[in-house]
């Protein structure tokens, strides 16, 4: 088949910005496109590759029996970004209300894969079934390749198959999980429920499972709304609350009269329920066509309907919570696992029980496995919950979720591990590793993100933060002196040697040049008399400083003072002097290149060495050391741009007070 191409009529920047999104949203857009094409049968399926038992998704297919894409409409559909036939029509040829109108949904598939293929069968004016192809490659995504001419189709009906492949490595895990019906169908149920209830001839299958809202609805409550304004025709809308048997997709959806979803929003009270709320009306269809939904609250009618929907949600949530609490508490009392006996003695005890009752309902929602656990497990769980109420109730939900998510093998491994160590020690070790990984991320931001590091003061902030994280310089070291003179360093050194009796005998001439103050001196944690000693003297500068010969001369001065002073032992003690900075200027780089005694080292004699490093070396060395543990812990780095600043204000509040 011969191909030709068409360029998308939009700037590259605007195009790239508008196609961003999640793979799940990309698949939903393709389903909506199939609905807009009057499809009656829509099927999402996946291909896998990899070793047995550890397969991952390699391809995504969205197949429908809609009217297809005619070859003479391809340039309009794909080349004129932001326009499509839906721009000029409210309904599909089959009479359905359109979901899309801007001609953008098809490109969102690039959020799932690097290569997109459309295999489309359509009828020409004579009724003949013809076939054409469209291809998009993310590397040249502004240029669409498609069939030069249509060929006769072997299919017996119209329809389209969209094939997404070339899935990026960083998205394979997410998409493989997304392919599990129980992972995605609750979302599809909530999004497509009113539409599927309005158009009952449509069937959507997701990886072999039918998306059937009617079978999953526990209850449905509707309410008519009217907005009246003097001298104007009343505007009507309908509010529909669907409570699901199992799904937990609880959002407020803005829809057209037929149930087509145009927008969705989180609303905090709904998060405590298993209810989806749909606000439907002609007003929202018109605003969608006018592209004004994003400015919804500037429209008085829209603002009125949204506020009424939220009032309805608050009342509904209150009723559901009372009902759920009553049922749940009655159940655990019948099982004899309620952690309280008799009637409460006073109002305080009654209040405590009321809190427990609400808490028990929330935990059962968060950890559904609890209901099927053994009686003994549930009894212990509720007892722990009772004890947690007056300490840290927020943490118990997370702990329970993680415990109940363990596989049988993981439970056995944990039991075996506990025969060799204690659970608190396991937690402390994992917490230490996690804390260190977090600090490495923060340290990198402090040094290499000017918006964070430039405001940090050298001695009163940066220096003091590092005092609490000395492990980054090596586990074998402990703090000797901090921000003290070389005289005090000498005293500490003599103490380490076990020669405190020499301190009063230090002659004045031996200390007259010891008034300078290095930042940190670290000693070996163990200093036995029969082994050599090793001391690390570190000179810190403000995080974002580029090191020059001036700083290099300063660390050399410290080192040579120690080297030349006989009171500092050099027979059994090695002295390492290290200068650290964000970057090295060209003069320092040249000075280091002229040396042949090791990376960053420009002096090494008589058990005294001097080295100059960029912080990146310290950070990367530690990252490599902890990378295996990071993967085993599945530790995720924060992508919040304010993470480092928030960490410093929280972890070191005494050094970084919050501005009033």
Domain residue spans in the chain? 3-179, 209-323, 335-405, 476-617
- Judge whether 45 and 28 are in contact, CB under 8 Å: no
Nearest 10 degrees: Cα torsion 79, 80, 81, 84:
-110
pLDDT class of 116 with cuts at 50, 70, 90 = very high
Structure tokens given for 595: 């040396």
Structure tokens given for 633: 């812990």
Contacts of 149 (CB under 8 A, 6+ apart): 2, 71
Q: How far apart are CA 363 and CA 385, in angstroms?
A: 9
Higher pLDDT, 46 or 328: 46
DSSP summary character for residue 78: I
Q: Which residues pair with 240 in a beta bridge?
A: 222, 278
Q: What is the pLDDT of residue 262?
A: 86
Rounded mean pLDDT, 596-611: 76
| pLDDT higher than threshold 50 for residue 293 | yes
Structure tokens given for 597: 């005694």
Q: How far apart are CA 442 and CA 381, in angstroms?
A: 37
Q: How far apart are CA 367 and CA 385, in angstroms?
A: 13
When the candidates are 1.10.530, 3.40.91, 3.10.450, 1.10.3470, the CATH number that belongs to 476-617 is 3.40.91
Q: What is the pLDDT of residue 530?
A: 45
Higher pLDDT, 445 or 248: 445
Which range is most confident: 368-382, 456-470, 493-507?
456-470
| pLDDT higher than threshold 50 for residue 341 | yes
% pLDDT > 90, the chain:
20
Q: How far apart are CA 193 and CA 199, in angstroms?
A: 10
- CB neighbour class for 182 (10 Å; exposed up to 12, middle 13-18, buried from 19): exposed
Least confident of 189-203, 354-368, 454-468: 354-368
Quick check: helix, strand or coil at residue 348? helix
Q: What is the pLDDT of residue 397?
A: 55
| pLDDT higher than threshold 90 for residue 45 | yes
> What are the two backbone dihedrals, phi and then psi, of residue 571, each rounded to the nearest 5 degrees?
-80, -50
Least confident of 112-121, 239-248, 500-509, 645-654: 500-509
Please indicate, yes or no, whether the overall pTM of this predicted structure exceeds 0.75. no
Kind and range of the H or E element at 218? strand 217-227
Which range is most confident: 191-205, 251-265, 424-438?
191-205
- Judge whether 452 and 582 are in contact, CB under 8 Å: no
Higher pLDDT, 278 or 87: 278
Least confident of 103-117, 126-140, 262-276, 479-493: 479-493
Q: What is the pLDDT of residue 595?
A: 62
Q: What sections of 101-199 are H helices per DSSP?
A: 169-178, 181-198
Is CATH 3.30.565.10 the classification given to domain 3-179? yes
pLDDT class of 23 with cuts at 50, 70, 90 = very high
Q: Whole-number mean pLDDT of the chain?
A: 79
Q: How far apart are CA 581 and CA 587, in angstroms?
A: 14
Angle value at C-alpha 481, between 477 and 482, nearest 5 degrees: 105
DSSP summary character for residue 659: P
- Residue recorded with tokens 């390749």: 145
H helix count then E strand count, the chain: 21, 23
**Strand pairing category for 235-244 and 275-280:** antiparallel
Higher pLDDT, 391 or 52: 52
Q: What sections of 208-298 are H helices per DSSP?
A: 213-216, 282-289
- Residue recorded with tokens 């042949």: 596
Rounded mean pLDDT, 472-500: 60
What would the pLDDT profile of 538-587 be if each residue is shown by its tens digit?
887 888 889 999 988 888 887 887 777 776 777 777 888 888 888 999 98
Q: What is the pLDDT of residue 10?
A: 61
R_g of the chain computed on alpha carbons:
34
Q: What is the pLDDT of residue 633?
A: 74
Contacts of 58 (CB under 8 A, 6+ apart): 47, 48, 49, 165, 167
Rounded mean pLDDT, 352-373: 72
Q: How would you label 123-160 residue by residue, b for 16+ Cβ within 10 Å and e otherwise?
A: eeeeeebbbbbbbbeeeebbebbbbeebeebeeeebbb
Quick check: helix, strand or coil at residue 92? coil
pLDDT class of 360 with cuts at 50, 70, 90 = confident
């Amino acid at each position: 088949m011969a191909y030709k191409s068409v360029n998308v009529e939009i700037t590259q920047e605007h195009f790239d910005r508008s196609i961003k999104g999640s793979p799940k949203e990309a698949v939903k857009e393709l389903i909506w496109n199939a609905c807009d094409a009057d499809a009656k049968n829509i099927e999402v399926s996946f291909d896998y590759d990899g070793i047995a038992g550890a397969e991952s998704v390699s391809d995504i297919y969205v197949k429908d029996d809609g009217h297809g894409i005619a070859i003479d409409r391809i340039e309009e559909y794909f080349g004129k970004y932001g326009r499509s036939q839906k721009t000029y029509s409210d309904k599909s040829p089959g009479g359905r209300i359109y979901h899309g109108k801007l001609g953008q949904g098809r490109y969102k598939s690039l959020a799932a894969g690097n290569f997109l293929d459309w295999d489309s069968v359509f009828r020409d004016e004579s009724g003949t079934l013809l076939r054409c192809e469209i291809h998009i490659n993310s590397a040249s995504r502004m240029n669409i390749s498609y069939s030069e001419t249509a060929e006769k189709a072997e299919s017996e009906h119209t329809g389209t198959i969209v094939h997404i492949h070339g899935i990026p490595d960083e998205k394979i895990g997410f998409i493989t999980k997304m392919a599990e019906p129980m992972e995605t169908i609750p979302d599809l149920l909530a999004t497509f429920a009113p539409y599927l209830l309005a158009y009952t001839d449509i069937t959507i299958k997701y990886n072999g499972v039918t998306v059937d809202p009617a079978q999953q609805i526990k209850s449905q409550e509707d309410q008519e709304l009217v907005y009246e304004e003097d001298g104007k025709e009343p505007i009507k809308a309908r509010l529909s609350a669907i409570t699901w048997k199992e799904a937990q997709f609880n959002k407020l959806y803005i829809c057209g009269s037929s149930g087509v979803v145009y927008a969705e929003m989180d609303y905090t009270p709904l998060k405590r329920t298993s209810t989806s709320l749909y606000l439907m009306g002609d007003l929202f269809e018109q605003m969608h066509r006018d592209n004004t939904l994003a400015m919804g609250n500037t429209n008085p009618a829209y603002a009125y309907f949204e506020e009424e929907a939220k009032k309805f949600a608050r009342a509904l949530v209150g009723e559901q919570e009372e009902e759920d609490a009553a049922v749940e508490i009655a159940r655990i009392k019948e099982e004899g696992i309620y952690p309280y006996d008799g009637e409460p003695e006073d109002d305080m005890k009654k209040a405590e029980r009321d809190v427990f009752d609400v808490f028990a309902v929330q935990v059962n929602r968060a950890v559904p496995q609890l209901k099927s656990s053994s009686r003994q497990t549930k009894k212990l769980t509720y007892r722990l919950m009772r004890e947690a109420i007056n300490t840290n109730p927020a943490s118990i939900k997370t702990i329970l979720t993680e415990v109940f998510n363990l596989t049988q093998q993981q439970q056995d491994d944990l039991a075996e591990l506990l025969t060799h160590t204690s659970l608190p020690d396991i937690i402390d070790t994992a917490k230490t590793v996690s804390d260190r990984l977090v600090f490495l991320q923060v340290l990198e931001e402090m040094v290499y993100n000017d918006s964070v590091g430039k405001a940090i003061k050298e001695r009163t902030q940066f220096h003091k933060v590092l005092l609490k994280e000395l492990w980054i310089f090596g586990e074998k070291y402990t703090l000797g002196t901090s921000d003290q003179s070389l005289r005090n360093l000498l005293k500490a050194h003599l103490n380490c040697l076990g020669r405190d009796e020499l301190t009063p005998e230090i002659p004045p001439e031996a200390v007259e040049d010891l008034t300078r103050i290095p930042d940190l001196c670290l000693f070996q944690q163990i200093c036995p008399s029969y082994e050599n000693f090793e001391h690390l003297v570190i000179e810190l500068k403000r995080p974002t400083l580029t090191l020059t010969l001036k700083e290099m001369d300063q660390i050399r001065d410290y080192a040579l003072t120690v080297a030349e002073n006989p009171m500092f032992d050099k027979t059994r003690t090695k002295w390492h002097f290290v200068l650290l900075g964000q970057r090295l200027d060209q003069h320092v780089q040249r000075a280091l290149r002229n040396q042949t005694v090791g990376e960053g080292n420009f002096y090494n004699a008589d058990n005294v060495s001097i080295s100059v490093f960029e912080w990146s070396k310290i950070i990367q060395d530690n990252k490599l050391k902890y990378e295996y543990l990071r993967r085993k812990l599945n530790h995720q780095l924060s992508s919040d741009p304010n993470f480092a600043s928030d960490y410093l204000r929280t972890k070191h509040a005494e050094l970084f007070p919050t501005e009033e």
